[in-house]
Amino acid sequence: MPNLSDRLKALGVRLGARDLPPPRPKAENPYAVTRILPGKFLPTDYGPVFAVEKWFGADYRHGHQPAAFRPAPPLLSTWLDASRPACTAAETVAYLDTETTGLSGGTGTYAFMVGVAFYRETGLQTVQLFMTSPDEEPALLAALSSLLQGTDTLVTFNGKEFDVPLLQTRYRLNRMESPLDSPVQLDLLPLARRLWRDRLPERSLGYLEQAILGATRTEEDVPGRLIPYLYFSYLRSGDARPLRGVFYHNRMDLLAMAGLLNHVADLLESPLDGRVAHPLDRLALARLCESAGRVALAEQLYRLSLEAGLPEESYQDALARLSALLKRQGRLAQAIPLWEEAAQAGQIYACVELAKYYEHTARDLTQALRWTEAGLSLLTTPSRRARWHAELRHRQKRLHRRLGR
Amino acid sequence: MLMPLTDLLNRWRTSPNTARSITAWQVDPPRPGQYAPFPPDLHPRLVTILQAQGISRLYTHQAETWQAVQAGEHPVIVTGTASGKTLAYNLPVLHHLLDRPGTRALYLFPTKALAQDQADTLTGLLAAANLPPQTIATYDGDTPQSRRPAIRQNVRLLITNPDMLHTGILPHHTRWADFFQHLRFVVIDEMHVYRGIFGAHVANVLRRLKRIAAFYGAAPQFILTSATIANPDELAARLVELPVTVISRDAAPRGRRDFLIYNPPVVRPELGLRRSALSEAVRLAGELARHAGQTLVFSRTRRGAEMLVSYLRTATADFLPAEAIRGYRSGYLPRHRREIEAGLRRGQVRLAAATSALELGVDIGGMAAVVMVGFPGTLAAARQQAGRAGRREGEAVAVMVASANPLDQFLARHPEYFFDRPPEQALINPDNLLILWMHLRCALFELPFHRGDSFGRLPPETVAELLDALSQTGEAHPTGSRWCWMADKYPAEDVSLRNASPERVVLQTVADDQPTIIGEVDRESAAWMVHPQAIYLHEGQTYRVDSLDLDTQVASLQPVDTDYFTEPKTETTVQLVELHRQTGAPGGKKFLGDVLVVRRVVGYKKFRWFTHEHLGDGQVDLPPTELPTTGYWLALAPELVDELRAQGEWSNDPIDYGPNWPAQRRQARARDGYVCQMCGAPERGQAHHVHHKIPFRQFSSYREANRLSNLITLCPTCHRRAEQAVRMRSGLAGVAFVLGHLAPLFLMCDRGDIAVHADAASPLAEGRPAVVVYDMAPGGIGFADRLFDLHVELMHRSLEVVSHCPCPDGCPACVGPAGEDGIGGKRPALALLQKLARESV
């Protein structure tokens, strides 16, 4: 009988060391994590866990943005729709970012490193917890719990979707209480999407850090996709040298979040002043204000962005949103010039709105029919036909009937 | 007009034409029900609900299930179709849901369709029991992402399928922590489906489920149901790895049911050809639909079901509108299927042609009649299909029309085998190494393994050995006390429980200028079902395939009206990967080992509808598919080949080559310059032979066969060699044919679980002739191993079948029809089998 490995191989299972480093040396390890990284072991009820701490003074800037604490504007909390205001006191804010063994989620993905950052009197402190073996996971989680005591706002980048559920899974698997249920979640990714969807080609933290904050990283940084493999390799070889880059990457992510939050706070605090440099940002802010229920501010921002010179597609978007906002408030007279402008530009919805206005409000059936037919003449593509044809035809028939034609 | 079924049956019984072909007629007399009162401790709200539905007592098997559950046992309910199995398990589960608000239950159904069916029924029951609507939910691939979190939060009765449990639930068990912690019942409906490869997968998924439940401190009770199989206790025990209680006394009342075996009459005795089972089934089903009522016709293949729809529509055009006749098979879109099921329940569909897709408990009500075109492959399946005929009151009939294959003919001659023999055993091997390996990866992803942990019934040492091997791949990380999953992968994603590739090819056609998807086929089947130029049938409409793109997984079809259908031509080679065992056997040597089967669709044949006249061939260029598996093969000893040759057993009776033969023969010799085209020898006083390159009997017309392009001039020596090669091939092919049909009976497996291949110059046997039987499951599931041990018995039974068959020169009932696999395969096959079935080596 062939042995197990042979039988598995025969079935097409690929066994054996493919690019795998040799196993960890048993004796003294010159590249142990304690020799490579300036850290110490924190004691917990579940044993010690390795931690690297760093301080960034009150004058530290990430790119051109200071990383020091500033209270978040009320608009941010309104938009977050949280049960209580976020980022009110420096000592209750924590930033969190994990490095994991994969992106697929599920119970088999570990957070082998959890970085947190806190505001201290002298600036920002980062603490990076790291497990030198998966057996240290309970200790890492216990240390994280005690670090997060007193945290009321947890700032992450995509944490709602990824880091937080992943850590909650880890706590549950270790039958431990999760400290992540109570703080308000301030996830910067959805906010970034809101603000820069139209202006920037990507919304990854690394990209925003460069494009918005003007910060660059040193060559110590490692690409995120390599991180799981660097950890797997470390687990086998015990050689912690390649991990320096992972610690650096994680730390920079934490600082980038702090800088980004301050930048967003600037925008939200005084959206009308000159600091909002880009008209597209102003349009994004208008949409954000509108969805947060700050309608008057939104209207002002829409008008400012329309005046500032937007690209055509965004200009039409702003027109459509502003006119819809005015219509909801019953300010039809003010909406009409906007619709006329949009209709000139071939927007079918505007023709429909005008037709409705003339049919039901102004009771000018001839004008109504004119705009209906203008709309029909714009149905040049199948998708437009699918969306509008039936509605416009119906209206046209009714108007013909009412006009006695 | 409808006449009582009895009258129609009497007419068949007395009509000489029909009666002669009925080889068996068994009557299951009507049976009264046996009842038991509601259990005294049954929740009063359930009593009220049942009474409102007009149920005032239980069948005794339902009461027995109740008692088993209350005693903490794991019952397996094995009673007939429509015997109230569903109520039997719903009762205890609902009782506990009502009794203890914490209770959670998991229902596993093999298909989404079945789950949907049951979800509807259960939703009604729960509403009647005043349980909030979010108590029950279906969670499968169709559940919108947005609804999933709420389901995970609220559900108490979760309906899903093994695939979803495997990829969507277990790997995310922490999201279901509350559910697993309170998991009290796991209901596994239609357990018999979980056999073979699928069963081995599901058994491992259940190991993972139990492991996770244990992590949360739960040890759920299992309730299983099954169609009639020989070993429900064994299958259930292997699936759940717990002692089970079998409840098999069916106490539901039943009307009289007649069961007939019909063997179509022989129409061409010289070829052993019987009238086609398909056309006879169409005739019988037409009469049944006309006189007796709703009739269901089962076909073994998807294509057969489609052909039936079109034949049945023609045959019943005078009294049924086309829309009263529907097809039903996998590949139809779900909503389409729901509509047909509803049509059957409401009686608008009078005649349906289905595949085994309808076998599973999909509720369509009782039919007046069921006709099976051919033996469905296993006795269990035959009984389940027949079970569709039958109503609480009134008569029903099931007819099995025997097809030409050897097993069908065997059963037509030995009906006692059909009626008296216990049905098949459902075999599973959860420890199939490849399957086990895949699920151990999934299990490790779900929870780390500690040293000393077992996995199901696998002992810790074996688990440790596998995990150490997994550590070699880098996917597991050993830490001293345990193993952890350490890879950037989601292993469940790579494992399909159905084993067929999870990839599907969509079938697209253009209707009203809009691309429309009419259905789909799995990727493995795509090459032979929808290769370019193939004629594809979908609910009676014929389509021609314009193109098949395996990269984008789209086949483009065009509705056409053709007078022909197509059959794919495939080429198979079986290569040796690693030899495991070899032993001398009479006439040669038998082997067991790992093989690689490479199959390629190279072309297709066109046949005229109804007459099946061969109209021509076409070529197809498609990439091959590869199957690594285990095989058992027999290689013929060179001495045996010599011996047979010496005895002249490879020779053959003379054939009448048709009136134009002398002229064609002369022309061929003249064209070839009276020189042997093989060795170059000129004619010396005596005319050379003229050989048919493609054997004469493969043609339906002598003109076709005798075309000059099919003829070649050979000297007598070379001609004998050529003929011998052909006969060797046909003898081997004959043996392979009979083996392929008989082996499933010994293995008690489905016919599609194994495949047979004959090769006159096999790479498995250093170029000698060999016949190989291989598992269709990648890695093998143990069938080849069993056959290796059963070899001598298998040869004896094969010899018996062939020597007892009355046909002169091979027919579909023994070695395959003459002319299909070379010239007259019976004589050489028989000679071969006589040598192979000798007692001593």
Q: Are residues A192 and A117 in the same domain?
A: yes
Question: Do residues A182 and A204 both lie within one domain?
Answer: yes
A165 and A102 assigned to the same domain: yes
Mean pLDDT (chain B) is 86
Interface touch A102/B487, C-beta < 8 Å: yes
Between these two residues, B365 and B612, which has the higher pLDDT value?
A: B365
**What residue in A sits closest to B167 (Cα-Cα)?**
A106
Q: What is the per-residue pLDDT for B821?
A: 38
Residue whose C-alpha is closest to residue B260's, from B223, B236, B233, B287: B287
User: What CA–CA distance (Å, rounded) separates B247 from B223?
Assistant: 11
Alpha helices (runs of H) in B2-111, residue ranges in sequence order = 5-14, 16-19, 44-52, 60-70, 85-99
Interface test with B, best of A5, A6, A7 (most B CBs within 10 A): A7
Whether the predicted pLDDT of B271 surpasses 90: no
Contact yes or no for B433 and A133 at CB 8 A: no
Residues A294 and A151 in one domain: no
In whole angstroms, give the CA distance from residue B308 to residue B302: 10
Given a cut of 70, is residue B697 above it in pLDDT? no
Confidence at residue B99, expressed as pLDDT on a 0 to 100 scale? 93
Reference A284, options A366, A351, A195, A184; nearest CA is: A195
Please state the rounded mean pLDDT for residues B4-23. 89
Residues A236 and A289 in one domain: no
What pairing do the DSSP bridges indicate for beta strands B58-59 and B35-36? antiparallel
Strand partners, B372: B298, B400
A2 belongs to a structural domain: no
pLDDT at B786 over 90: no
Backbone angles phi, psi at B308, to 5 degrees: -60, -45
Check CB contact of B481 with chain A, cutoff 8 Å.
yes
Q: What is the pLDDT of residue A385?
A: 85
Confidence band, pLDDT 50/70/90 cuts, at residue B345 = confident
- pLDDT at residue A20, as a whole number: 59
Between CA B325 and CA B317 the distance in angstroms is: 10
The domain B5-27+256-420 is placed in CATH, from the list 1.10.357.10, 3.40.50.300, 1.10.150.120, 3.40.50.720, at 3.40.50.300
Pair B445, A107: CB distance under 8 Å: yes
Burial of B472 (0-12, 13-18, 19+ CB in 10 A): middle
B469: nearest CB among A2, A15, A110: A15
Tell me whether residue A274 is exposed, middle or buried, using C-beta atoms within 10 angstroms of its C-beta: 0 to 12, 13 to 18, 19 or more.
Answer: exposed
Two tokens, residue A52: 């690297």
Q: What is the pLDDT of residue A202?
A: 83
A13 lies in a domain? no
Distance CA A172, CA B149 (A): 17
Nearest C-alpha in A relative to B594: A10
Q: Specify the pLDDT at position B422.
A: 66
Distance CA B694, CA B579 (A): 35
Same topology for domains B5-27+256-420 and B37-247, yes or no? yes
What's the pLDDT score for residue B648? 56
**What confidence tens digit (pLDDT) does each residue in B144-186 have?**
999 999 999 999 999 999 999 999 999 999 999 999 999 999 9
Whether residue B651 has pLDDT greater than 90: no
Name every chain A residue with its beta carbon within 8 A of the beta carbon of B779: 11-12
Query: CATH code at A226?
Result: 3.30.420.10
Query: Of the segments A387-391, B697-701, B752-756, which one has the largest average pLDDT value?
Result: A387-391
Q: Which residues of B touch A172 (CB under 8 A)?
A: 174, 177
For residue A134, list chain B residues with Cβ-Cβ distance below 8 A: 448, 477, 479, 484, 486
According to DSSP, residue A189 is labeled H
Host H or E run for residue B753: none
- DSSP label at residue B186: E
A354-358, B9-13, B399-403, B523-527 — which is least confidently predicted?
B523-527
Per the structure block, which two tokens stand in for B487? 């890879």
Nearest to B502 by CA among B520, B476, B489, B481: B520
CA distances from B479 to A4, B6, B93 (A): 22, 74, 42
Single-letter amino acid, residue A129: L
CB-closest option in B174, B472, B486 to A169? B174
State whether A133 and B479 contact (CB < 8 Å): yes
Is residue A148 located within the same domain as residue A288?
no
pLDDT band (50, 70, 90) for residue B823? very low
Residue B380: the pLDDT is 79
- Predicted local confidence at residue B217, as pLDDT: 96
- Spatial separation of the C-alpha atoms in residues B361 and B226, rounded to whole Å: 10
**What's the pLDDT at B218?**
97
Task: Judge whether residue B278 has pLDDT over 70.
Answer: yes
Domain ranges of chain B: 5-27+256-420, 37-247, 433-494, 500-562
Helix or strand (DSSP H, E) at A405? none
A146 domain residue, yes or no = yes
Task: Give dist(CA B269, CA B236) in Å, integer.
Answer: 47
Residue B652, pLDDT score: 40
Predicted confidence band of residue B394 (pLDDT cuts 50, 70, 90):
confident
Same domain, A135 and A186: yes
Domain count within chain A: 3
CB-based contact B479 A134, cutoff 8 Å: yes
Q: How many residues are listed for chain B in this entry?
A: 841
How far B267 CA sits from the closest chain A CA (Å)?
A: 48
Q: State the best of B486, B595, B627 to mutate against chain A, taking most chain A CBs within 10 Å.
A: B486
Q: Which helix (H) or strand (E) holds B299?
A: none
A168 in contact with B at a CB cutoff of 8 Å? yes
- Could you tell me how many residues make up chain A? 405
pLDDT one-digit tens code per residue, B186-221 = 999 999 889 877 898 999 999 999 999 999 999 999
In this structure, are residues B785 and B795 in contact, taking their beta carbons and an 8 Å threshold? no
H/E run at residue B418: helix B415-420
Give the pLDDT of residue B820: 40
Rounded distance between C-alpha atoms, residue B34 and residue B250, angstroms: 9
Instruction: Please name the helix (run of DSSP H) or strand (run of DSSP E) that holds residue B659, with its range, or none.
Output: none
Helix (H) or strand (E) holding B332: none
Answer yes or no: is A23 within a domain.
no
Largest Cα–Cα separation, chain B? 103
Pairwise pLDDT comparison (B430 vs A247), residue with the higher score: A247
Residue B503, pLDDT score? 62
- Domain B37-247 carries which CATH code? 3.40.50.300
Please state whether beta strands B514-522 and B504-511 pair in parallel, antiparallel, or not at all (unpaired). antiparallel
Residue with the bigger pLDDT between B227 and B311: it is: B311
Say if residue B501's pLDDT is above 50. no
| Residue A71 domain-assigned (yes or no) | yes
Q: What is the ipTM of this complex?
A: 0.84
A91 and A43 share one domain: yes
Same domain as A347, residue A299: no
Q: Please give the share of chain B, as a percent, with pLDDT higher than 70.
A: 91
Does residue B808 have a pLDDT over 80? no
A51 and A188 fall within a common domain: yes
Question: Could you tell me where the DSSP H helices lie in B779-825?
Answer: 783-804
Pick B490's closest partner by Cβ from A2, A11, A106.
Answer: A106
Does A135 reach chain B within 8 Å, measured CB to CB? yes
What pTM does this model have? 0.77
Q: Which residue of B has its CA nearest to A21?
A: B474
Whether A317 is in a domain gets the answer yes
Of A329, A359, A376, the last residue of a domain is A329
Q: What share of chain A is helix, strand, coil (3-state, %, to 5)?
A: 50, 10, 35
Say which residue, B106 or B426, is predicted with more confidence: B106
CA–CA separation, A226 and B480 (whole Å): 26
Which residue(s) pair with B629 in the sheet? Answer: B595
Report CB contact under 8 Å: B469, A106.
Answer: no
pLDDT band at residue B678 under the 50/70/90 scheme: confident
The residue segments making up the domain with residue A320 are 273-329
Hey, what amino acid is at A11? L
Answer whether A221's CB lies under 8 Å from A245's CB: yes
Q: Is B571 exposed, middle or buried (0-12, 13-18, 19+ CB in 10 A)?
A: exposed
Is any Cβ of chain B less than 8 angstroms from the Cβ of A223? Answer: no
The confidence score (pLDDT) of residue A222 equals 93
The amino acid occupying position B519 is G
Helix extents (H) in A272-347 = 279-291, 295-307, 312-328, 332-344
pLDDT of residue B577: 86
Q: What is the rounded CA–CA span in Å between residue B194 and residue B162?
A: 10
Pairing state between β B273-274 and B266-268: antiparallel
Banded pLDDT at B840 (limits 50, 70, 90): very low
Higher-pLDDT residue of A276 and B630 is B630
Which residue from A111, A211, A197, A220 is spatially nearest to A156, judged by alpha carbons?
Answer: A111
Q: Give the single-character DSSP code of A360.
A: I
B-chain CB neighbours of A228 within 8 Å are 488
Q: Hey, which residues does B108 pair with through a beta bridge?
A: B160, B188
Q: Per-residue pLDDT for chain A (405 aa), expressed as one digit of tens each?
A: 457 777 676 666 666 555 555 565 556 788 999 899 999 999 999 999 999 999 999 889 999 888 888 888 888 887 777 777 777 788 999 999 999 999 888 999 999 999 999 998 888 999 999 999 999 999 999 999 999 999 999 999 999 999 999 999 999 999 999 999 999 999 999 989 888 888 888 888 988 999 889 999 999 999 999 999 999 999 988 999 999 999 999 999 999 999 999 988 888 887 777 666 688 888 888 888 888 888 888 998 899 888 888 888 889 999 999 999 999 999 999 999 999 999 999 999 999 999 999 999 999 999 999 999 999 999 888 888 888 999 999 999 999 998 887
Spatial contact of B555 and B548, defined as CB atoms under 8 Å apart: yes
**A42 lies in the same domain as A99:** yes
A176 shares a domain with A325 = no
